Amino acid sequence: MIYRSALGALVASAILAGPALSEELTIGLASEPTAIDPHFHNLGPNNAFARHVFDRLILQNELQQLEPGLAVSWKPIDDLTWEFKLREGVKFHDGSDFTADDVVCTWDRAPNVPNSPSSFATYTKGKTVEKVDDYTVHFKSAAPYPLMANDVSTVTIVSDEVGCGATTAQYNDGTAAVGTGPFKFVSYKPGDSIVVERNDDYWGEKPIWSKVTFKPIKSGPSRVAALLAGDVDVIASVPTTDVATLEKNDKVSLSQGVSNRVIYLHLDHDRVDSPFVKANGGGSIENPLQKLEVRKAISMAINRDAIVDRVMEGIAIKAGQLLPEGFFGVSDNLEPVEYDAKGAKEMLAAAGYPDGFELTIHGPNDRYINDSKIAEAIGQMLTRIGIKTTVETMPRSVYFGRASKGGPNDTPEFSFILVGWGAGSGEASSPLKSLIATHTPDKGWGSSNRGRYSNPEFDALLETALSTVDDAKRQNLLAEATEMAIEDVAIIPTHYQVSTWGTKKGLKYTARTDEYTLAIGVGKE
């Protein structure tokens, strides 16, 4: 058994050596990108695919440690300015030179893509970029910002000549899909395949694969069957129900690791009349989710041990905050809320809802590991304490747009949702800024705050943390901000994902905390 609910180092099974393999690779994805445009949607599958065709100034390794990318060095030169020295001699796939102009235009484009369900404004706003010369840029902020390198490492660089002025449709048809990455874009057929080919002029280590085909296979059993049949060489998100069986199969190798992704619930904090919260019998009701006692009761009603042990087959970690142990900004004072159905009922009654109310939980059915099953389990748990819960799940291609902007005037449509967040920057400011901070588009805060939680005291504390240069002090401030958000039940964390990849005999995959499935991470044994 590779992993059963104990946090530890990344674990990889032994891989048996096999015969020489073709240079072509086929990868079965559980969740495909929603666009080729690397700035359209700050979503794991999109960001992972973008790493093949495009680069970032700073790259992240499998543990999200920062490494040189299109920038060879970076450093603060005064309290408000970071200087980045760019890599010379890099070519885009169309033969044009990579220069500072591409960085400047990328920074303008990334937070402003039309109809983005979750933009990169979280990382770009509050920072300006100035070209010093062709291979030097200065990133400036209004206050000291020690996390500049972390934020920069999340943003994909596109071409000033063909990418910065392009539409998402032009990326999807390949017209603008011109990067500096290890692979060149070939084709994109949504729901069927994405094909890339090796960039033989890549500035870094050349991929061993001449051609890579990504095939979306939504069904877990179908992904496993495709791997066993040899139709694909690698699969992402091995179903938790199949891990134990595949461990015993000498034709398959598994790699596994704890991810940075928390699965959580967002609640409607904003609307007095919330569309999917009803009185018993279906009448209107003043939104009970705005009451702290109700939110606490909901959290107490969720049996996280049961979710981990039964729904996730033991391959997950119950969560009490936004990131698992070991990440920067995590609090030592927070533990997962203990299951207490009796206490939840009592708290609900004390809040004025002795007979509960009606609620719909919305979620995706093809984005996270066992996502629809988790939503169903939570619905049953809440129904047991008197909150009569209906479950509605849908494809992530529909879900995220509705969850973000499906309501009147581009407001979030739903009242209570299941969603996940992976810390793209590798530390706690990422979820704090995006999920908890007050939705402030001009500032780039709250870009994925689909519950519209707002707490000025929290915002002020986060602002202080983000401008604190001393690492130890910033760690404590981020932890304090996390504690404030969790104690106010801004969101309800349920568990952290543990990711499992499967490969055919003779191949190995290096597990990643960001859950990215990368062709460059697939090697021969």
Give how many domains the chain has, as a whole number.
Answer: 1
23-50 pLDDT per residue, tens? 999 999 999 999 999 999 999 999 999 9
- pLDDT tens-digit series, residues 100-135: 999 999 999 999 999 998 899 989 999 999 999 999
Q: Tell me how far the alpha carbon of residue 99 is from its chain's centroid.
A: 29
Q: What is the predicted pLDDT for the residue at 1?
A: 44
Helix 456-466 crosses helix 471-487 at what angle (to 10 degrees)? Answer: 160
Residues β-bridged to residue 252: 504
Cβ–Cβ under 8 Å, residues 58 and 71: yes
Q: Which domain holds residue 300?
A: 258-498
* Mean pLDDT of the region 264-273: 98
Higher pLDDT, 17 or 468: 468
pLDDT of residue 4 exceeding 90, the answer is no
Residue 193 lies in a domain: no
- Per-residue pLDDT band for 10 (boundaries 50, 70, 90) equals very low
* Host H or E run for residue 418: strand 416-422
pLDDT single digits (tens) 334-392: 999 999 999 999 999 999 999 999 999 999 999 999 999 999 999 999 999 999 999 99
Q: Please state, in angstroms and rounded to a whole number, the distance separating the CA atoms of residues 311 and 370.
A: 7
What pLDDT is recorded for position 15?
A: 33
* Mode of pairing for the β-strands spanning 522-524 and 252-267: unpaired
Has residue 47 been placed in a domain? no
**How confident is residue 22, by pLDDT bands cut at 50, 70 and 90?**
low
Asked if pLDDT for residue 13 goes beyond 50, the answer is no
- On whether residue 342 sits in a domain, the answer given is yes
Asked whether residue 17 carries a pLDDT value surpassing 80, the answer given is no
Residue 195 is assigned to a structural domain of this protein? no
Give me the mean pLDDT over the 58-75 stretch. Answer: 96
Closest CA to 79 of 153, 151, 152, 141: 141
Judge whether 472 lies within some domain.
Answer: yes
pLDDT in tens, 162-200: 999 999 999 999 999 999 999 999 999 999 999 999 999
Instruction: Give domain status of residue 383, yes or no.
Output: yes
Q: Which CA distances in Å does 217 have to 51, 113, 194, 220?
A: 20, 28, 12, 7
What pLDDT, on the 0 to 100 scale, is given for residue 424?
85
User: What's the pLDDT band for 425 if we cut at 50, 70, 90?
Assistant: confident
What CATH number should be reported for the domain holding residue 455?
3.10.105.10
At residue 143, the pLDDT reads: 92
Q: Please report the pLDDT score of residue 524 as a whole number.
A: 92
In this predicted structure, what is the pLDDT of residue 163?
A: 97
Whether residue 437 lies inside any domain: the answer is yes
pTM confidence score: 0.84
| Domain-embedded: residue 210 | no
Nearest to 176 by CA among 109, 244, 235, 124: 109
Span 484-520, pLDDT tens digits: 999 999 999 999 999 999 999 999 999 999 999 999 9
Specify the pLDDT at position 7.
35
